Amino acid sequence: MKRRPFLQNTFLGLPAASSARIFWWVGKFSWKGWLVFTLAIACALGRVSFAQEAAPSPPAPDLVSSEALELIRDECVGCHRTGKSKGGLKLTTQEGFKAGGESGPLLEPGKAAESLLLAVLSKEGDPHMPPKKQLSQKQIAAFKTWMEAGAAWDAAVLDRPPRPQPVALRPMPSGVHPVLALAFSPDGATLAVARGGSVELRDATAARFPVKTTIAAHVESVESLAWSSDGATLITGGFRRLRFWKAADGVALGEMTEGLAGDVTALGVSGGTLFVADSLACRGGFVHRLNGVEHKMVQTWKAHDDAVFGLVVSADGLWLATAGADRLARRWDAGSGALVGTYEGHTNQVLAVAFDSLAPRLATTGADREIKVWDRESREQDAVLGDRKQVTSALFWSKDGSRLVGVTDRGNGTVFSAIQKHTGEQRSETAKEQKLEKVDAVLQSVTTTADGAKVAAGATDGRFFVWKSADGKLIPVD
């Protein structure tokens, strides 16, 4: 089976021109943006990357008692869960397991050997599960032992990332080099631009932002990018891996793969701590906390029931916010990882989230074409921004809190400032808006300098753009 990171499904392996045609088609006829379209395809086709499956997965070293639950998590819930319950069966909770599907319970007490569950797993099973795969005798025996012992449920096992199946990555087709992430260094002097698998370090103090260094960072697309707090290290995230680079000369400092299960879709840095969003389309979005100095994973939790598209740390380092494909945004205590608030209101995937550093509020953008500003504590919507005609695919709040910037899949962008709490019908009074000069590109990443004076955005075709916030004019770049 071919697997591709869901963000790269954007291209479906097609040359840029055909992809552009698909974007156009989708943009024209579908009420959803292309982004949602490609994500839906990713859900349908399964996962990940210009990669092929290599050797079979190694035998599970885990306890027998949790092996059956791990098999359910890794082999079954992809098709038997909320939102996709084939045969009417949901295997994500004990209630779902007990209820069974259209043909009734999977297990009659005391009759494990004759259970429907073992019947579908056997070679002769009709239907046969998993449909295109045969579980080993050992794995089937694990199910039998587990059911004979009373089919005890441990929800924590289901909430851990699935055990990654080995894959071998192949180089991406030439011409596929989306700019999925870009970030200014803490001192604002360098702009890091991820183009496909490489990262360009560009001089943000010189005219036209010339390239200082190009790092051949990953085989797959770089999906996320962050600077260490001191600006000395650059961190890149791709498919199941993080890499660390010396910012001064682009020399590799190390790699981390252990414990990463999917696409590293977002990164957040706070002091010496690195937060990593680890996404499996349709399966779950996990957050890992890393001790930045040793790159050691110290905590993992399931943040969303679907991919995590956005992750930010507040300027004071107290809060972490995540944007989920499950239509929710969530806020976490950055110190403990405890959930402190869920922001409900988007009617489609939440694509990005941003914290205001001046007021207790945060902003989210969704595939439902809305930018929402929320009261951080009450979790009520303070304002809805934008014209609701386009999908704002990326959102960034300048570090000083002065400007919130959103860019769209149609090449538009808006700088919002002086955002007011929404009181009456007058949407126009909600915020001051400065439109960015339109570009002919599908924009999907955005950042600003700390003072918000300059905006940079990346496009699916590999270009990036820089604007002056004050008048929205493009600044030419090489």
By the 8 A CB rule, do 82 and 37 touch?
Answer: no
Q: How near is the Cβ of 139 to ligand HEC at its closest, in Å?
A: 8
Under the criterion CB under 6 A, does residue 419 sit at the interface with ligand HEC?
no
Q: How near is the Cβ of 159 to ligand HEC at its closest, in Å?
A: 18
Under the criterion CB under 6 A, does residue 271 sit at the interface with ligand HEC?
no
Q: How near is the Cβ of 77 to ligand HEC at its closest, in Å?
A: 8
Q: What angle do CA 321, 325, 328 make, to 5 degrees?
A: 50
Which of 84-92, 312-320, 404-412, 440-448 is the region at the interface with ligand HEC (rule: CB under 6 A)? 84-92
Given candidates 32, 86, 246, 468, which one binds ligand HEC under the rule CB under 6 A? 86
C-alpha dihedral sign at 117, 54, 305, 13: negative
In the complex with ligand HEC, which residue's Cβ is closer, 75 or 200?
75
Cα separation, 90 vs 120, in Å, equals 15
By the 8 A CB rule, do 89 and 105 touch?
Answer: no
Given candidates 42, 51, 76, 167, which one binds ligand HEC under the rule CB under 6 A? 76
Under the criterion CB under 6 A, does residue 15 sit at the interface with ligand HEC?
no
Under the criterion CB under 6 A, does residue 87 sit at the interface with ligand HEC?
yes
Under the criterion CB under 6 A, does residue 80 sit at the interface with ligand HEC?
yes
Given candidates 5, 33, 96, 100, which one binds ligand HEC under the rule CB under 6 A? 100
Q: Is the peptide bond before 130 cis (omega within 30 degrees of 0)?
A: yes
Question: For residue 7, which of 444, 478, 475 has the smallest C-alpha distance?
Answer: 444
Cα separation, 326 vs 175, in Å, equals 31
C-alpha dihedral sign at 23, 27, 30, 35: positive
Q: How near is the Cβ of 44 to ligand HEC at its closest, in Å?
A: 11
181 to 214, 243, 445: CA distances (angstroms): 15, 15, 5
Given candidates 33, 101, 161, 197, which one binds ligand HEC under the rule CB under 6 A? 101
425 to 8, 197, 287, 411, 428: CA distances (angstroms): 40, 46, 38, 28, 9
- Residues of this chain, 104-163, that bind ligand HEC according to CB under 6 A: 106, 116-117, 120, 127, 129-131
Given candidates 22, 79, 248, 315, which one binds ligand HEC under the rule CB under 6 A? 79
Binding site for ligand HEC (CB under 6 A): 75-76, 78-80, 86-89, 100-103, 106, 116-117, 120, 127, 129-131
